[in-house]
Amino acid sequence: MAKAKIARKSTTIDMTAMCDVGFLLLTFFILTTKFRPQEVTQIDLPASTAQFPLPDINVMKFDISKDGKIFFGLDDQPTRMALLERIEEEYKFDLNDDQRKAFKVMELWGIDINDLPAFLAMDATARGHYEQPGLKIDSTEFEGEHQVENLITWSRYANPELRIAIKGDKSTSYKSFDLLIQTLQRCKVNKFNIITTEKKVAE
């Protein structure tokens, strides 16, 4: 019996098709990716069965850390710049272009507005390491500078479509949450969203 000859095949495979697929997926991921913003504080979200997704645009975000510090963020840069202009005007700040640029890319911040120019003048790494004390929030309607109220009103003035999302830690005490709610209500905001993670209903 004659031995069956095994044809020697080349081990090289045509990579073109794989390359196509690879780059197609790459393009998809590059276009859809939205980088996770740098977290100012670690926040462990509470879980709920709510299904309403967070809107993509026009969001004013408040983060409340475990120890009750409140941070503020606007999602789009034109609104941020409009807000900064208003702050400059009201607080008589004279900011340079670098400081403005720094504010433009700031996703979330929580400091006394009076300290804002100094904070913006820091270089980027120092700003990243700086431990922000949280917004200066008034405990009652009649005292304080109404910084948070002003921020809310001015931002909404710059962009009336803003929705308000509150991101609180699981173990944030209700007291600090209530402080923010009361402030919001003083600005006639009675509708807002709490950001949660998804949870299945255990029957």
Partner 1 sequence: MAEMEVANKGKKGKRSKKLSTRVDLTPMVDLAFLLITFFMLATTMNKPKTMEINKPVEDKDQDKDMDEPTIKMSKTLNLMLGDNNKVYWYVSPDEITATSTIELDSTDYSAQGLRAVVKRRQNEVQAMHGDKNELFVMIKPLPGSKLKNTVDALDEMTINGVNKYAILPPKEAIDSLVALQINQKRK
Q: Which residues bind partner 1 (CB under 8 A)?
A: 12, 14-16, 18-19, 22-23, 25-26, 29-30, 32-36, 45-54, 64, 165, 167-175, 177-178, 181, 185, 188, 190-199, 201-203
Alpha carbons 138 and 143: distance in angstroms, whole number = 7
Q: What are phi and psi of 100, to 5 degrees?
A: -65, -40
Close Cβ partners of 64 (under 8 Å, ≥ 6 residues apart): 70, 71, 166, 167, 168, 169, 172, 176, 177, 180
Cβ proximity to partner 1: between 132 and 172 the closer is 172
What is residue 119's DSSP assignment? H
CB-based contacts of 182, cutoff 8 Å, min separation 6: 141
CB of 79 to partner 1, least distance (A): 19
Instruction: Choose between 51 and 125: whose C-beta lies nearer to partner 1.
Output: 51
Min CB(181)–partner 1 separation in Å: 7
- The nearest distance, CB 43 to partner 1, in angstroms, is 10
Q: How far is the CB of 142 from partner 1 (least distance, A)?
A: 13
Q: Which amino acid is at 159?
A: N
The single-letter code of the amino acid at 121 is A
Q: Which is nearer to partner 1, 154 or 177 (CB)?
A: 177
Beta 47-48 vs 163-168: how paired, if at all?
unpaired
Which of residues 45 and 121 has its CB atom nearest to partner 1 in the complex? 45
